[in-house]
């Protein structure tokens, strides 16, 4: 048997395990809406007790697991539509973790960059090799020297930022998006917003749990931005293309019964997908 890969990741970097696990779990469902076989293969190769997530998920009902798989589903759907219009699209996946969106949406022509912190990229390289049209950038997204690394800029450039902004302050997110707008004037960006109450709940959960080695609820959330409306105040050139609840299109899975918490999150717009045109 091949030896499993040990993890040497910082606290924020470890959060990549949650969406990875969510996607791998969804693969196992009979009526799966996201067939991410890569996620399942990667999970099997890691020396990590993913069973510890089951207990978190039981307490937080289904939303932790599902919200991550649903986020990936929605991002895939948006990207596939853009790729139909721009078959040679350039995508920069910021805070890529062990995400395999490229593998799920690839049309054989798109060019894709996965950017993350050095230890995450080192792990990523062990599990998912780079390829001709899929290159890795080992930098913080806040270190904007990475703009020079984007050598292949097609007519349309799209940034995907999944599960990253909530770890940063609202003003950091604003400055970053405005900087992207300046450097990549007609680009688009897809990310999620989390309502302030979710951030508050996560912080409470963190304080009330003893952060064990395998705990991932120990990350410090900063909030990111809580609503898409805010971006209109930053620049009148930014257009909100789409903004909907991660839990909107639940009929994609016939067997899925939304929990009370999920209905609440949907009603109060606590976890939204945002798609913007930056100019
Ligand atoms: C919750 S995970 C999301 C991973 C991936 N987007 C997904 O959906 O599976 C957050 C990711 O953001 C990365 N990250 C955190 N701070 C970062 C920074 N300053 N620059 C680049 N990546 C960062 C972490 O290493 C981690 O891979």
Q: Report pLDDT for 61.
A: 45
- Closest ligand 1 atom to residue 19 Cα is 9
Please choose from 12, 76, 127, 160 the residue to mutate so as to test ligand 1's pocket, defined by most ligand atoms within 8 A of CB: 12
* 201-225 mean pLDDT: 63
Residue whose Cα lies nearest atom 7 of ligand 1: it is: 99
Whole-number Å distance, alpha carbon 135 to ligand 1 midpoint, is 16
pTM: 0.93
DSSP symbols for the chain: -PPPBPP---TTGGGGHHHHHHHHHHHHSTT-S---HHHHHHHHHB-S-THHHHHHHHHTTTHHHHHHHHHHHHHHHHHHHHHHH-TT-EEEEET-TT--HHHHH--SS-EEEEEE-HHHHHHHHHHS--BTTEEEEES-TTSGGGGGG-----S-EEEEE-S-GGGS-HHHHHHHHHHHHHHSTT-EEEEEEE-HHHHHHHHHHHHHS---TT--TT-------S-TTHHHHH-TT-EEEEEEETTTTGGGSTT----HHHHHHHHTT-EEEEEEE--
Q: Report pLDDT for 188.
A: 98
Q: Quick one: pLDDT band at residue 213, thresholds 50, 70, 90?
A: very low
97 lines ligand 1 (CB under 6 A): yes
Residue whose Cα lies nearest atom 27 of ligand 1: it is: 97
Q: Choose the weakest-confidence range: 2-11, 149-158, 201-210.
A: 201-210
Q: 231 Cβ partners below 8 Å, 6+ apart?
A: 177, 225, 238, 240, 274, 276
What is the rounded CA–CA span in Å between residue 27 and residue 35?
5
* 18-25 mean pLDDT: 91
114 lines ligand 1 (CB under 6 A): no
Residue 78 reports pLDDT greater than 80: yes
Residue 40 reports pLDDT greater than 70: yes
What is the rounded CA–CA span in Å between residue 87 and residue 125?
26
Residue 238 reports pLDDT greater than 90: yes
Residue whose Cα lies nearest atom 19 of ligand 1: it is: 140
Which of the residue ranges 55-59, 104-108, 232-236 has the most confident prediction, judged by mean pLDDT?
104-108
Q: Report pLDDT for 256.
A: 62
162 lines ligand 1 (CB under 6 A): yes
What is the rounded CA–CA span in Å between residue 67 and residue 246?
7
Whole-number Å distance, alpha carbon 94 to ligand 1 midpoint, is 7
Where does residue 235 fall: left (phi above 0), alpha (psi -120 to 50 degrees), or beta otherwise? beta
* 34-63 mean pLDDT: 79
Whole-number Å distance, alpha carbon 63 to ligand 1 midpoint, is 20
Residue 207 reports pLDDT greater than 80: no
């Amino acid at each position: 048997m091949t030896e499993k890969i040990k993890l040497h990741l910082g606290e924020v970097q470890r959060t990549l395990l949650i969406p990875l696990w969510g996607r791998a779990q969804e693969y196992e469902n009979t009526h799966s809406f996201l067939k991410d076989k890569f996620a399942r293969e990667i999970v099997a190769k890691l020396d990590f007790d993913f069973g510890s997530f089951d207990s978190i998920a039981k307490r937080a009902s289904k939303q932790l697991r599902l919200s991550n798989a649903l986020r990936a589903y929605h991002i895939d759907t948006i990207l596939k539509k853009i790729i139909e219009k721009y078959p040679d699209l350039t995508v920069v996946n910021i805070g890529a973790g062990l995400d395999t969106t490229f593998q799920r949406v690839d049309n054989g022509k798109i060019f894709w960059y996965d950017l993350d912190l050095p230890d995450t990229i080192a792990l990523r390289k062990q599990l998912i090799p780079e390829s001709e049209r899929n290159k890795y950038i080992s930098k913080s997204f806040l270190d904007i020297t990475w703009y020079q690394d984007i050598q292949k800029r097609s007519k349309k450039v799209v940034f995907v930022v999944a599960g990253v902004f909530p770890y940063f302050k609202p003003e950091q997110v604003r400055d970053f998006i405005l900087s992207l707008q300046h450097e990549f004037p007609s680009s688009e960006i897809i990310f999620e917003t989390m309502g302030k109450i979710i951030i508050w709940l996560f912080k409470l959960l963190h304080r009330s749990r003893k952060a064990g080695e395998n705990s991932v609820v120990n990350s410090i959330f900063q909030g990111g931005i809580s609503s898409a409306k805010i971006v209109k105040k930053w620049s009148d050139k930014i257009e909100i293309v789409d903004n909907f609840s991660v839990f909107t299109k639940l009929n994609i899975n016939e067997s899925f019964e939304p929990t009370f918490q999920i209905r609440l999150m949907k009603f109060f717009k606590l976890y939204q997908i945002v798609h913007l045109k930056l100019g």
